[in-house]
Structure 1
Amino acid sequence: MSPAHTSRPCFYHCSFFVLCFLSSLSGIQSHELQILMKLKSALQVSNTNVFKSWEATTSPCNFTGIACNSVGSVSEIELSHHNLTGILPLDSICQLQSLAKLSLGFNLLHGPVMEDLKNCAKLEYLDLGNNFFSGAVPDISSLSQLRYLYLNNSGFSGNFPWKSLQNMTGLVRLSLGDNPFDHSPIPTEVVQLTKLDWLYLSNCNIQGTIPTGIGSLKGLIDLELSDNNMTGEIPAEIGNLINLWQLVLYNNSFTGKLPVGLRNLTKLEIFDASMNYLEGDLSELRFLNNLTSLQLFENNLSGQVPAELGEFKKLLNLSLYSNSLTGPLPQKLGSRAQFNFIDVSDNFLNGPIPPDMCKQGTMMRLLMLDNNFTGEIPATYANCSTLIRFRVNQNLLSGTVPSGIWGLPNLNIIDITSNNIEGPITSDIMNAKALGQLFVGNNRLSGELPTEISGATSLMSIQLNDNQFSGKIPPSIGDLKQLYVLRLQNNKFSGSIPETLGSCDSIMVINIANNSLSGQIPSSLGFLPRLFSLDLSSNKLSDRIPQSFSSFARDPLLNLSYNRLTGPIPQALTYLAGDGKFDGNAGLCLLDISAGLPSCENPYILPLLIHIQCLPLDY
């Protein structure tokens, strides 16, 4: 038989096969098109054109967010971050026979997730995280091919179907946190997922201890168990997780010491076990030289901060506040990294402040309050223009404040309260445009308050009390329109109270007690709309109480005692006369006998008034 005769039957057979295949494919695509159009109709969307390409005349493979496999069947739905809202029609979605990826995270989806989800049996990637679903997660044991499961922060509650996980032996990432599930320990099904590299179970009512079996998850790079009800010690088996990049355990009730073997986690960059009951020292951290963030605040840790931390080249954030740490900080701390943040407050640390934490010009927050640090504030911080917060209050610091610190452009708080610091506030403060809080009380600061303070236009609170400041209160202080607290008590200010202080319409508290101020009380203070506390006691103020002070009739937080005031107390304030608010002003008297004291105008006691100028309040 000739070759022509032998090829004809094959030609017809192959053509028939292709036609059948194309016909079948066309039917599949038509069915899948219907499913996707139903999905479109079920979901509403705002501020996005994600469904613009979803038209019935278009192939589903050309839809935005849709991918198809090699035979043209829908294999992926990627519609995360699109503000989608509505109830998810899983009964139709899970009819997509080739669907391997369903990603709908970071939307506004709501309602229950139906048991139809179990029909998406070929899923390898499922992301329903960061939505607003309700009810429990259905049984998903049929999804045995899953490798990525994200259900975090989506409003799920009830019992999570932990048994479903035992079939997912290939699971790589499991993220269930931030859901109000029923209380549960970490089940054995989780620690048997030996291919996991990401386990996020924070804030989902996990209780009990960390199982020792956690050590079998040697591929983990991220382990997060924060904001739960976990107890017991951190198991030594955690040291087997040598690939860990992040370990987050904060806000639980863990006890005991940092486990022996923690030093093995040399790839660890982020470690946070804050807000627990951990004790012992930090020696296990000496070898973790890849750390970028170390947070162990609010524990019972003791001992010294390891000197090796000063050599860490990547350390950006260090937060160890509210422990019982002692000894000095490593003097090289932060000098080799783009250091950003330190908070070691509320410990028993001593020695000098490390001088080079802003060496790379990146430091933003320096919080070292309530310790026993000594020495001077390092001059290097005068050039730290990135600094936002500078708090070294309640220590034993001495010397002067480097002048440049007063004028750092991004600083919003300076707090050096309760030290032994001397010297003046310099005119550099005019450059402190972001400064909102100036706390320098209980030191030995002296000199005049510079008139340039008016350049710090963001100032809301000035607290200079209990120092040795002298000279006049600059009238320019009236330019500080956001000022709401002014505390200058217990200094050596002299001269008059500036009338311009009455321009600070936001001010609520003024305390200038125990200085050497003289002259009249500005009547403008009585017109301040928000002022509720005024203490001008123990000065040398004279003349009459302004009639405008009648506004204080609604609030007793007024103290004018121990001055040289004369004349009648405004009638609206006579009810305060028995509370010591006006004591020590021999020239003050009352207009109204209803207060129980003789009237200034009573003719029967006029000779006595001439003798003592006016009836004393303690008559």
Structure 2
Amino acid sequence: MVLMAKLVCHSRLLLLIIVFLSLHPSSQLQQHTQSQTLLKIQQLLNYPSALTSFSHRSNIRDFCKIEPTPSLTLSCYEGNITQLHIIGNNGFPPLPRDFSADYFFATLVGLPSLKVLSLVSLGLWGPMPASIGHLSSLEILNVSTNYLSGTVPLQLSYLRNLQTLILDHNKFTGQVPGWLSSLPVLAVLSLKNNMLNGSLPYSLASLQTLRVLCLSSNFLSGEVPDLRNLTNLQVLDLEDNYFGPHFPSWSHLC
């Protein structure tokens, strides 16, 4: 019986060691990947002044200790990066010609726990690639005041946790996508100062969670959908477009 008890005890100890060894390297590898991702982001953004604090940091614990500034906020939870805010200078020129939006956003996938991503005034240019859809934890995305172009990518519809989408002051073209209504918790949608055209999709009227809708300073036209069923809507900004001539009544916004 004593021998049997010892064998059981040793077996449990061996199992615990195996589990620890199987999990610990994975955790270390993920943290190392996040650290390398941040350093790669710094390189791809052409070493902006906002990221000077990245220098001489090699592990995730060092990055998580960076004090927030007006240009950079980096937040972590249990060794995983959950928020990344980088703000450049207003009127920042486009990044060099060898910049690749495809490669840049694919690099961001190395931060799988990211919930908040703000990349403002950094000179990003080119179409927003499909890889944005792999950041499945995103709740807030703000890429305003850049030079991003092309249509608003369908892959944003894969971000089922997305609550805020801000694409202001870019060069997006095409129509306001009808698939936006498929985002189940979208509360803030701002596409101001782009080159969007055509009429608004009537599916916007089904976005029950929407609180803010800003589409001003585009080339939108046609009739505006009746949005009276959007009982949570608090801010509606459609100015500087070509809507009309008739507008539905939205007395609940007054």
TM range (shorter): 0.5 to 0.7
Of residues 129, 147, 172 in structure 2, which corresponds to 1:444?
147
- 1:345 matches 2:86: no
Is contact 1:441-1:464 (8 Å) kept? yes
Residues 1:555 and 2:253 are matched in the alignment: yes
Q: In 2, Cα distance between the equivalents of 1:481 and 1:327?
A: 34
**RMSD of aligned alpha carbons:** 3.0
Alignment of 1:516 onto 2:219: yes
Is 1:418–1:443's contact at 8 Å kept on the other side of the alignment? yes
Residue deviations 1:293-314 (CA, integer Å, cap 9, x gap): xxxxxxxxxxxxxxxxxxxxxx
Q: Distance in 1 between matches of 2:229 and 2:51?
A: 53
Number of corresponding residues: 194
Between Structure 1 and Structure 2, whose CA radius of gyration is higher?
1
Give 2:130's aligned amino acid.
Answer: S
Structure 1 moving runs of 4+ over 6 Å? none
Q: Relative CO higher for 1 or 2, CA cutoff 8 Å, sep ≥ 6? A: 2
Query: C-alpha deviations, 1:247-293, integer Å up to 9, x for none?
Result: xxxxxxxxxxxxxxxxxxxxxxxxxxxxxxxxxxxxxxxxxxxxxxx
Change (3 A) 1:462 1:542: same
The alpha-carbon distance between structure 1 residues 527 and 553, as it changes in their structure 2 partners (threshold 3 A), is: same
What stretches of structure 2 of length at least 5 have no aligned partner? 1-48
Q: Residue 543 of structure 1: CA displacement?
A: 4.1
Contiguous gaps of at least 5 residues in structure 1: 1-324, 350-364, 368-385, 557-619
- Indicate conservation of the 8 Å contact 2:206/2:229, yes or no: no
- Report the AA paired with residue 112 of structure 2: P
Asked if the contact 1:404–1:428 (Cα under 8 Å) also holds between the matched residues in 2, the reply is yes
- Select 1:334's aligned residue among 58, 80, 86: 58
Q: Tell me how far apart the structure 1 counterparts of residues 247 and 157 of structure 2 sit (CA, whole Å).
A: 28
Q: Secondary structure at the match of 1:471?
A: coil
The one of 171, 175, 190 aligned to 1:468: 171
Which residue of structure 2 lines up, in the alignment, with residue 251 of structure 1?
none
Q: Percent identity?
A: 26
What letter is aligned with 1:332? H
Match of 1:420 in 2: 123
Structure-2 separation of matches of 1:328 and 1:431: 28
Please give the alpha-carbon distance, in whole angstroms, between the structure 1 residues aligned to 2:50 and 2:219: 43
Alpha carbons of structure 1 residues 405 and 328: separation in structure 2 relative to 1, 3 Å: closer
- Deviation, 1:328, is 4.0
**Paired letter, 2:233:** L
Cα offset, 1:403, TM superposition = 2.1
Between the aligned partners of 2:149 and 2:50, the Cα distance in structure 1 is: 32
- Equivalent residues in 2 for 1:112-191 (5 A)? none
Mapped to 1, the partners of 2:82 and 2:71 lie a distance apart of: 25
TM-score, L = length of structure 1: 0.29
How far apart are residue 390 of structure 1 and its match?
1.6
Q: 1: CA distance between counterparts of 2:223 and 2:71?
A: 48
Distance verdict in 2 for CA 1:328–1:486, change over 3 Å: closer
Distance 1:515 1:327 in 2: 33
Deviation sequence 1:370-400 (CA, Å, 0-9, x none): xxxxxxxxxxxxxxxx532121123458355
For residues 413 and 503 of structure 1, do their structure 2 counterparts lie closer, same or farther at Cα, with a shift above 3 Å needed?
same
CA-CA distance at 1:498 after TM superposition: 1.4
User: Structure 2 residue aligned with 1:387, among 81, 101, 118?
Assistant: 81
Once the two structures are superposed, residues 558-586 of structure 1 have per-residue CA deviations (whole angstroms, 9 ceiling, x without a partner) of xxxxxxxxxxxxxxxxxxxxxxxxxxxxx
Q: What SS class does the counterpart of residue 478 from structure 1 fall into?
A: helix
Q: Distance in 2 between matches of 1:346 and 1:529?
A: 37
After TM superposition, the structure 1 = structure 2 runs for residues 39-78 of structure 1, keeping only pairs within 5 Å, are: none
Shift of 1:340: 5.2
TM-fit CA distance, 1:347: 6.8
Q: Cα deviations across residues 292-339 of structure 1 (Å, max 9, x unaligned)?
A: xxxxxxxxxxxxxxxxxxxxxxxxxxxxxxxxx99944633125x765
Give 1:518 deviation, angstroms: 1.8
Once residues 458 and 480 of structure 1 are traced to their aligned partners in structure 2, the CA distance between those partners, rounded to angstroms, is: 8
Q: Which residue of 1 aligns with 2:240?
A: 538
Deviation at 1:448, TM superposition (A): 1.0
More helix by share: 2
- Which AA in structure 2 matches 1:366? L
- 1:169-195 alpha-carbon deviations (Å, 9 max, x no partner): xxxxxxxxxxxxxxxxxxxxxxxxxxx
